């Protein structure tokens, strides 16, 4: 399990190593075809800031070679905001006072039909809070079976499960799993997750191994930018990605770097990442791993997403509602976070075409299951 591997790396030592990188280290990394994690550390270090234009050029070249002029589109569907966790930064925190929504099978199908009216989406991300009593494996299996006739590619962002449970959901139409470790800082993790299932650092961290063991087709990874030093967190994630690729080489992987947005509860980020720093991170990850899917959500502004779609980003959401039933059933329920890009899917697709890129609505077919 990766928790054993992670224990070999000290947080503070990693941070110091990143901060000690020099211009020479950055130039050496940019001269390589295959990068090590140490090279990645150079590209996310403060020393790489003056080389942003060179990194952007290299990132764009790699992305065009590997993915062509395409941007894949997906849309999230929240089906419950019921949660037993106490994450201090999340609107779904169990201590926040609001009516919890748990969509019925009929309401889930209404949401599917409403999403289909927004655009030809075929990649659906099903999202829940973490409450196994009301939204456990039985509920998720039911949701997958309802959504399957409407969408060929189904992913979930839910509580970490057992390997046998992931395998069960695969049999019901599951293609991918997205999970955010939030932060790899073991000593600080409990500060942000004081109670609930999510407070178990190892269980969450080793969930990616269980996904791989179950044969999940695509695994999405991410850290929440705003909790701890972002450079150290993404370096730990780069180590994690390489470990997973070595052990589960038949699985595809994606990465996401969501910056904290306003949410119920009023938590303020400890770290603020600028647009230039997010661009630097995106370029660094593309140069580090030419094959990984880099995803941006509607947390980011329209202008920034437009600029980045040709420089390394390969998938984006559009028209997103982060409240359960937000597309048709309960349009006024509590959002998990506030979106920044409120453009319709049609407008996002039009902008992608205007920039000379093709929108990929479908990249998986049920006949391949």
Residue-level pLDDT at 264:
55
Q: From 40, 28, 11, select the one nearest 285 (Cα to Cα).
A: 40
- The CA distance from 151 to 123, in Å, is 6
What is the percent of the chain with per-residue pLDDT over 70, rounded to a whole number? 95
Average pLDDT over all residues of the chain:
93
Contact 287, 58 (CB under 8 A): yes
What pLDDT, on a 0 to 100 scale, did the predictor assign at position 365?
77
Band (333; pLDDT cuts 50, 70, 90): low
User: What CATH number was assigned to the domain covering residues 2-368?
Assistant: 3.20.20.70
**DSSP class per residue in 20-43:** T--HHHHHHHHT-SS--HHHHHHH
The pair phi, psi for residue 74, each rounded to 5°, is -140, 170
pLDDT tens across 114-134, in order? 999 999 999 999 999 999 999
Per-residue tokens: 244: 């997973």
CA distances from 169 to 96, 140, 188, 263 (A): 30, 8, 32, 30
Across the range 35-44, mean pLDDT stands at 98
289 confidence band (pLDDT: 50, 70, 90): very high
Range scoring the smallest mean pLDDT among 89-103, 207-221, 348-362: 89-103
Average pLDDT over residues 216-245: 97
User: Looking at residues 60-72, what average pLDDT do you find?
Assistant: 97
State pLDDT tens for residues 71-89. Answer: 999 999 999 999 999 999 8
Q: Over 60: is that where the pLDDT of 334 sits?
A: no
The closest alpha carbon to 114, from 80, 78, 85, 142, belongs to 78
Average pLDDT over residues 167-180: 97
Q: Record the pTM.
A: 0.94
């Amino acid at each position: 399990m990766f928790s054993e591997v992670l224990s070999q790396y000290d947080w503070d030592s990693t941070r110091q190593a990143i901060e000690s990188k020099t211009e020479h280290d950055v130039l050496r990394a940019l001269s390589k075809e295959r990068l090590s994690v140490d090279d990645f550390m150079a590209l996310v270090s403060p020393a790489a800031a003056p080389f942003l234009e060179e990194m952007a050029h290299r990132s764009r070249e790699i992305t065009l070679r590997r993915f062509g002029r395409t941007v894949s589109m997906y849309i999230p569907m929240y089906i419950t905001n019921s949660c037993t966790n106490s994450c201090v930064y999340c609107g779904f925190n169990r201590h926040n006072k609001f009516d919890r929504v748990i969509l019925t099978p009929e309401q889930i199908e209404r949401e599917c039909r409403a999403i289909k009216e927004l655009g030809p989406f075929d990649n659906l991300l099903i999202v829940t809070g973490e409450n196994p009593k009301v939204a456990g494996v039985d509920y998720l299996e039911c949701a997958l079976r309802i959504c399957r006739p409407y969408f060929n590619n189904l992913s979930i962002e839910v509580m970490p499960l057992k390997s046998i449970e992931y395998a069960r959901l695969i049999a019901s139409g599951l293609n991918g799993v997205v999970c955010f470790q939030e932060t790899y800082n073991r000593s600080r993790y409990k500060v942000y997750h004081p109670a609930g299932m999510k407070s178990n650092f190892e269980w969450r961290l080793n969930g990616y191994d269980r996904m791989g063991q179950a044969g999940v087709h695509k695994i999405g990874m991410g850290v929440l930018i705003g909790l701890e030093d972002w450079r150290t967190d993404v370096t730990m994630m780069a180590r994690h990605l390489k470990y997973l690729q070595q052990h589960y080489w038949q699985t595809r992987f994606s990465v996401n770097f969501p910056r904290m947005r306003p949410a119920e509860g009023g938590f303020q980020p400890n770290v603020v990442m600028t647009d230039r720093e997010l661009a630097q991170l995106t370029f660094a990850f593309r140069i580090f791993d030419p094959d990984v899917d880099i995803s941006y959500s509607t947390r980011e502004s329209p202008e920034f997403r437009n600029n980045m779609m040709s420089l390394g980003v390969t998938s984006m959401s559009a028209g997103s509602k982060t409240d359960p039933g937000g597309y048709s059933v309960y349009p006024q329920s509590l959002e998990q976070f506030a979106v920044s890009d409120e453009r319709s899917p049609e407008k996002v697709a039009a902008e992608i075409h205007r920039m000379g890129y093709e929108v990929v609505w479908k990249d998986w077919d049920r006949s391949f299951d």
